[in-house]
Chains A and B, each alone.
Chain A
Amino acid sequence: MMLTKFFLLISIILAVGSLYAGCTQPNALVLRQERQDQHWVRNGTTASGRYTRGVWVANSNRASYGSFRGGGPGAGK
């Protein structure tokens, strides 16, 4: 009985916590905010800049595309 109640409590905490996090999207990119520690990248789509004094500054390596190589099973063999 005790164990059941304990597991039930954990289940409720898990359900409420994941629903809350899912709906509030804490890991989305926050516009006009310097700190983006929480940003959790989707589908490998990484932010290519950051906010410095409220201005979006592109990463310096952004322009150096041309050396990019795709992945896949054939890569690196």
Chain B
Amino acid sequence: MPARWTSFLASTLTVALIATMPSLYAKRTTFGFIDWLSYLPFFIALGMLGAVTVGYLISQIVLVRNLRVDPDTSVAIPPLRLVPQPIGATRITASAELGNNQWVAYEIQIKDQQGKMIASAIKQGWKESGTWYEDGESGSWAETDTQGVIDFRGISSETIIIAVDVLDYTDTAGAALEQPVPIKLVIETGVVDDRYLWAGAVGTAFFAALTLISVPHSGKKVLAKSIPDSEISDRITCGGVDQLLRVQIKVAADSTAPDFVHARLIINDDQGEKLCDERHRINLGKLKNDNGKVRSANGSLTCFFVLNPRGSYGFYLEITPDASIDRTTLTLREGSRSLFPIPVTFLKSTSGS
């Protein structure tokens, strides 16, 4: 088994080599850099969706009444005693049942016990359908808008009379119709304004998404270098025991790009001692023309380090094979955070101390 022996020998040598390096090298997956707070807006948004649902459930129906209202007459329902509710408003929903191609204008009226009007609102409802023709195509359409809703508050334990008055009832041609309009009245109390709750749900969902998107971009950008080549090297001051260094490598290749390239990342300490020499595979995603020919290719890789102690560190990045590489970008963010447990390489420089 020569192959097996060779691999055993190689791994033993690697371990021995790392052990003799003037640094401590450890790679482990850690929860330590997760930004737990960034999940909170997501749960707030979820809570707002819950509030929308609860909002629809907490209103109490006081009365449901089916009326038949003749044109130009006002039909009242029996007096209703209302008490102020701790939250929300009182809602009157009127749904007119119209025949096809009919229009109606009706007024929802709120009167006090003496029959004196204290509020009124008009809804113009209609139900129409027909056929449309356009560019040789045709189809049918039907639209209806017959529901009137009025929310009111400022009630003080009183008896009110709710009435509906049909002001106008015609067909499409404008001819008055003389039959009664069936209108269903629903009176509810403790109604919350769902428009605000929906706005809150959408708004918090937007910021929840923004928070989650922002986490990979967190931290201070200590290096951002982009060159039309396959090699980048630079030296910066960074590190510290609790400073997560997010290393982002981006590769852009031309039409002759292979399926994958290798990125070799070397980190040296202030004495020039090699702390780490890693080789990563970067798969390239290919952009194709309409005719299926490869136009360009892109790939990226993110890896994490903790460098200790804080000091001057040299970074050397090399992409191989380099023939097709148009551009290489290296971005380092210090004090970064993550959303998930991440594999972190912990490096300790001992040559300086």
Do A and B make up one complex?
Answer: yes
Q: Which residues of A does B touch, CB under 8 Å?
A: 1, 3-5, 7-8, 10-12, 14-15, 17-19, 21-25, 27-33, 40, 42-49, 56, 58, 62, 65-66, 68-74
- With contacts A1-B35, A30-B152, A43-B148 taken as known, whether A15 is within 8 angstroms of B44 at the C-beta atoms is yes
CB distance from B110 to the nearest CB of A (A): 7
Stretch of B200-208, B232-240, B261-269 that contacts chain A: B200-208
A4 and B147 in contact, given A23-B88, A30-B153, A62-B167 (Cβ under 8 angstroms): no
Stretch at the interface among B8-16, B120-128, B304-312: B120-128
Contact check, A44 vs B207: say whether CB atoms are below 8 A apart.
no
Chain A proximity of B89: nearest CB distance (Å): 4
Interface residues, chain B, with chain A CB atoms under 8 Å away: 35, 37-38, 40-41, 44-45, 47-48, 51, 55, 87-89, 103, 105, 107-108, 110, 116-126, 128, 130, 132, 141, 143, 145, 147-155, 167-168, 170, 172, 174, 176, 191-197, 199-201, 203-204, 207-208, 210-211, 214-215, 218, 335, 337
With A25-B191, A32-B118, A65-B167 known to touch, is A19 a contact of B35 (CB < 8 Å)?
no
Number of A-B contacts (CB under 8 A): 182
Q: Taking chain A's interface residues, is the majority helix, strand, or loop, or is none over half, making it mixed?
A: mixed
Q: List 8 A-B contacts (CB under 8 A).
A: A4-B38, A12-B44, A14-B200, A15-B48, A19-B48, A23-B192, A25-B151, A72-B128
Minimum C-beta distance from B283 to chain A (A): 30
Q: A11-B45, A29-B119 are in contact. List 19 more A-B contacts (CB 8 A).
A: A3-B218, A4-B37, A7-B214, A8-B38, A18-B196, A18-B203, A22-B197, A25-B89, A25-B192, A32-B118, A45-B150, A47-B120, A56-B120, A58-B117, A66-B170, A68-B105, A70-B103, A70-B125, A73-B130
